[in-house]
Amino acid sequence: MRELTRPASRPACLLPLAAAIALVFAQDATSLTGGVVVLNCRDSGPASLRDAYSNAIDNEIIDLTNLTCGTITLTTGALVDSKGATNVTLLGPGAAALMIDANSQDRALVHKGSGALTIKDLTITRGSYNGAHGGGCIYSHGSVHMYNSTVSACTLKPSGNAPGNGGGVYALGSLDLATSTVSGNTINCPGNSAGSGGGIWSGGPATIDYSTIGNNRVSCNGIPRRGGGIFSGSDAKIYSSTISANVAGDGGGAYFAADAIVKASTISGNNSSGGGASGLLATHQLFLGDCTITKNDSGFQAGAAVHLNSITTAKMYGTIIYGNPAYQDIFTDDLDGRSGAVVIGSNNLIGVSLLAVPSGTLSSDPLLGPLSDNGGAAHTFTHALLKGSPAIDRGINTPQTIDLTEDQRGPGFARVAGTAADIGAFEFLGDRIFSNGFD
């Protein structure tokens, strides 16, 4: 089973669950200092979430696991940690069991501390913030760690000409997202103001595992308007995740303003309304391993699915970049970049590239199925390889290149199920009986 690389700052209290779902994280409440139990679903008063959060002390756990009400509706504004706790944790009973509904009146959560706001097993929804800075649902002056949780249907409207960042989540520090969903969040800019990160804006390093970032939007007329799904201002690592149906002027799916590693992930159906990259835009060094990048659509002829800045060296192994239309489906532009961008690697399938690609790169139709739930504990959607695909058994998975034991779907879906790994995020099993490839 693959061990995921984590930032050194990951709290020691976050441990993997059983091996069947190695990506889901549990939290041992006894390993943190302090703690308070929320006993009711009222918006305020003794034993309420608002009372506990506003009075949180450093390293405190706010325990909501015993609540059965289903929803805490905020009617008096955002929850604010008034004492500025450096680290604070919200521990819920499950994302499907408890929702914090901001009632479209304000943000849901404001974290003033310089440490981490940790959210586990909760849904945060319907935040609406009009003003400077960012975060339609969640604003953190420090970092955001989110596990088994959802942030959805949040809206950010910047004030005046100030830029708006983070339609769903704004983290001035780092971001750590695992087995979570960020979906349906929007930045709506007035006039010619600008925005970045329709779903997520992260100022520090971002690590995303087994998660879905989908249907987020940066709806702005100003420049820049970047990162419909995610804007990462520092180094980013994305593993076994799906970035789909996000919209922005530049970097419809993702905009990486620093180095980025993306492995065993699907980037599909994103859109750039301007001339920028519809799937992802990389401004520094980029690594793509076992990824499927398809059906990303640009509104202009020059908008590729993957666009590289002039200083970018992209290492690509076992990756599909194919079938990405541009300008009302008249053109196809899968990969391009500014003069000076370099692509190295092997065992890729790239349809149309305006950059030189490594010798041996395939370019024929990979025969992909629709974006679907093809299995896996985290239920991140993938494009299955269909029978007869030229990508089958044409990938690479050595320790020197990608070195994965599973495809995007995780445990139970071997990375190599035939004579060699397949190209892309999905490993074709076909009629094979055994996962080692024997018929």
In this predicted structure, the answer to whether residue 12 has a pLDDT above a threshold of 60 is no
How many whole angstroms separate alpha carbon 334 and alpha carbon 70?
44
Q: Tell the burial category of 181 from Cβ atoms under 10 Å away from its Cβ (0-12, 13-18, 19+).
A: buried
| Tokens representing residue 221 in the block | 């007329």
Instruction: Spell out where 64-194 has E strands.
Output: 71-73, 79-80, 88-91, 99-101, 109-111, 116-120, 123-125, 128-130, 138-140, 143-147, 150-152, 155-157, 164-165, 169-171, 175-178, 181-183, 186-188
**87 touches 93 (CB < 8 A):** no
In this predicted structure, the answer to whether residue 240 has a pLDDT above a threshold of 50 is yes
How many whole angstroms separate alpha carbon 150 and alpha carbon 113?
22
Q: How confident is the model at residue 13 (pLDDT cuts 50, 70, 90)?
A: very low
CA distances from 234 to 85, 177, 255 (A): 24, 15, 11
SS3 at position 431 = coil
In this predicted structure, the answer to whether residue 341 has a pLDDT above a threshold of 60 is yes
pLDDT tens-digit map of 126-143? 999 998 789 999 999 999
pLDDT tens-digit map of 51-108? 999 999 999 999 999 999 999 999 999 999 998 889 999 999 999 999 999 999 999 9
Lowest mean pLDDT among 166-170, 301-305, 343-347, 383-387: 301-305
| pTM for the full predicted model | 0.90
In this predicted structure, the answer to whether residue 115 has a pLDDT above a threshold of 50 is yes
Q: Please report the pLDDT score of residue 419 as a whole number.
A: 94
Q: Please report the pLDDT score of residue 409 as a whole number.
A: 98
- CB burial readout 144-179, b (16+ within 10 A) else e: bbbbbbbbbbbbbbbeeebbbbbbbbbbbbbbbbbb
Q: How confident is the model at residue 35 (pLDDT cuts 50, 70, 90)?
A: confident
